[in-house]
Amino acid sequence: MLQALFYILIFPGFLFVSLFSFFTEYVDRKLCARFQNRIGPPWYQPVADFIKLASKEDVVPHLADRRTFEYAPVFALAACVTAFLYIPTWSKEALFAFDGDLIVVIYLLTIPTITFFLAGWYSRSVYSMIGAARSIVQLFAYEIPLLLSILAAALLAGTWSLSAVTSFYAHHLGYLGFNALGFVVAIVALLGKLELVPFDIPEAETEIVAGSFTEYSGRLLALFRLAKGVELVVGTSLVASVFFPVALDFGPIVGFVAYVLEVLLLVAIISLLRSLAARFRIDQMINLSWKVAAPLAFAQVLISLAVKEALHL
């Protein structure tokens, strides 16, 4: 019981994921700044931001639905941290695993988007409501390519458990090459999921202020920002565990270092992409998802099935 609480609250649960998300946020901001020819923040900036926000007053709009407004960030954070417990990171086994946890992780990662929608919708401000509607529209655009690209990798491994997928690829490293297409689709869909440039449409600053978060301030905003940071960690960890399960056979320390490096590499790719592009419009984003990303993900599924057939797995 005590051990379970330790797992959930301290390591590798809430505390670790939160601190790691501060670190990845720093790496992301620093890299992005360097790509843009700026100096960038010092390493403690994300923590300082969090403390500053947490010490500020929470203002709940008069017309907002108070309960939804206050619970939404908590649910977002809880869902992200829970999802992390099912993702194998520095070993081949996640902390908790069962057959079908792949679907659970994807489902848990959908909850933050739903909370963004609810938070924005029940803020009752025009900017938040438009941002909320855009969050949901974007969800329908990126969710299918993301799910399909991960599903394709799972199909080849022949299991619905993330831990089993990871150990399958850890033993057959050569098979990772078959998933290259799926990896590209997953990264693009992940950008959409994390609402980062070029897909930061739901919180496009110059159009709708901050989208769903327009009315948020203080602790609640700090929680939402933390949830988004954790979502970045969990999203990249998921992609890393499915597409890069390397160096897992050399004990927990090597595995842990490899895991951190993989996540940082993915974060670097994301920073690069977001400093290279202009923001898409929501219709362009949907076209890209359904006309390019989804067919490519389907192609990846077919490739996986063909490879499976050819290799008699």
Partner 1 sequence: MPTRPRRVQIPVGPQHPALKEPECFLLTLEGEIIRESGVRLGYNHRGIEKAAESRTYIQDIYLMERVCGICSHAHATCFIQAVEEIAGLEVPKRAQYLRTLIAELERIHSHFLWLGVAGHEVGFDTLLMYTWRDREVVMDLLAALTGNRVNYSMNTLGGVRRDITADQKRDILEAVDKLEERTEYYVGIARDETTLIQRLSGVGKLSKEDAVRLGAVGPTGRASGVPRDARRDDPYAAYADVEFDVVTSDHCDVYGRTVVRLLELKQSYRIIRQVLERMPEGPIAVKAPRKVPAGEAVSRYEAPRGEDVHYVRANGTDKPERVKVRAPTLANVQAVGHMLKDGHLADMPIVIAAIDPCFSCTDRMVSLAGSDRPPGVLTWDALRRHGIAWYRERGIDFADLSSRLARPEER
CB of residue 148 to partner 1, shortest distance in Å: 24
The label of the residue with tokens 């390519």 reads 145
Q: Which of 279, 286, 296, 308 binds partner 1 (CB under 8 A)?
A: 279
Among 9, 205, 252, 254, binds partner 1 (CB under 8 A): 205
- Decide whether 150 or 187 has the Cβ nearer to partner 1: 187
Helices 218-243, 180-193: axis angle to 10 degrees equals 180
Among residues 7, 35, 160, 290, which is the contact residue for partner 1, using CB under 8 A? 35
Q: Could you say whether residue 290 binds partner 1 (CB under 8 A)?
A: no
Indicate whether 62 belongs to the interface with partner 1 (CB under 8 A).
yes
| Backbone torsions φ then ψ of 92, nearest 5 degrees | -80, -10
Q: How many residues bind partner 1 (CB under 8 A)?
A: 31
Tell me which of 60, 184, 296, 307 binds partner 1, using CB under 8 A.
60
Q: Indicate whether 68 belongs to the interface with partner 1 (CB under 8 A).
A: no
DSSP symbols for 177-243: GGGHHHHHHHHHHHHHHTT-TTS-GGG-HHHHTTGGGTT--HHHHHHHHHHHHHHHHHHHHHHHHHH
Question: For residues 277 and 279, what is the distance between their CA atoms, to the nearest angstrom?
Answer: 7
Query: Angle 101-121/162-171 helices, nearest 10 degrees?
Result: 130
Does the footprint of partner 1 cover residue 126 (CB under 8 A)? yes
How near is the Cβ of 116 to partner 1 at its closest, in Å? 18
CB atoms inside a 10 Å sphere around CB 281: 12
Q: Which residues bind partner 1 (CB under 8 A)?
A: 35-38, 59-60, 62, 126-127, 129-130, 197-198, 200-201, 204-209, 275-284
